[in-house]
Amino acid sequence: MAKLDAGEQNVVDTVSRVGWMVLKVGPTAEDSDPRWFAYTIGLPVTFGWPEFICFGLAPNVVAEVLNNAVAELKARATSPVAGLQLSEVLERSPVRLEAFAPALYREHLGWAMWFAAHSGLSPHQFGCLQLVWPDKRGRFPAESDCDDAVRQLQKPIIAVN
């Protein structure tokens, strides 16, 4: 096996120690989109769960939100599935897990895909759910009457029903 570089070794060590990690991704100078997003790395290996991804929250909040989702699922001894609502992730509102399109994996989940492959998982053992949050009226992005600004912050994934 090839020697791991520093970034790869950090992912392996962190997931080995904690069970997963959260990677925050910010815009680059070339990006026209200024939004941050974050995703987990290691959930399929550690728990047999899909990874989680979240868009549109501040970089100092998003990692805590994803970690809270993992903690709530562990405490409830529940496996994550699309449509599952979680109540202990944000202080004032629930969040929901939604399907994340496999066509977007390569663009958004590079390190998570690398870690899964490095750990011996096959592509069919890898998945991802998007953690979405509601607008001030409690409407989630997939709902037609959700505030459009909230929906736009959580793109590119959500399709309006």
Would you list the domain boundaries of the chain?
6-153
pLDDT for 77: 96
pLDDT for 158: 43
pTM, full prediction: 0.91
The phi and psi torsions of 32 (rounded to 5 degrees) equal -85, -15
If DSSP codes are grouped into helix, strand and coil, which group holds residue 123?
A: helix
Summarize pLDDT for 94-124 with one digit per residue, the tens: 999 999 999 999 989 999 999 999 999 999 9
Strand 21-25 versus strand 85-86 pairing type: unpaired
pLDDT lower than 50: segments of the chain: 158-161
pLDDT for 117: 96
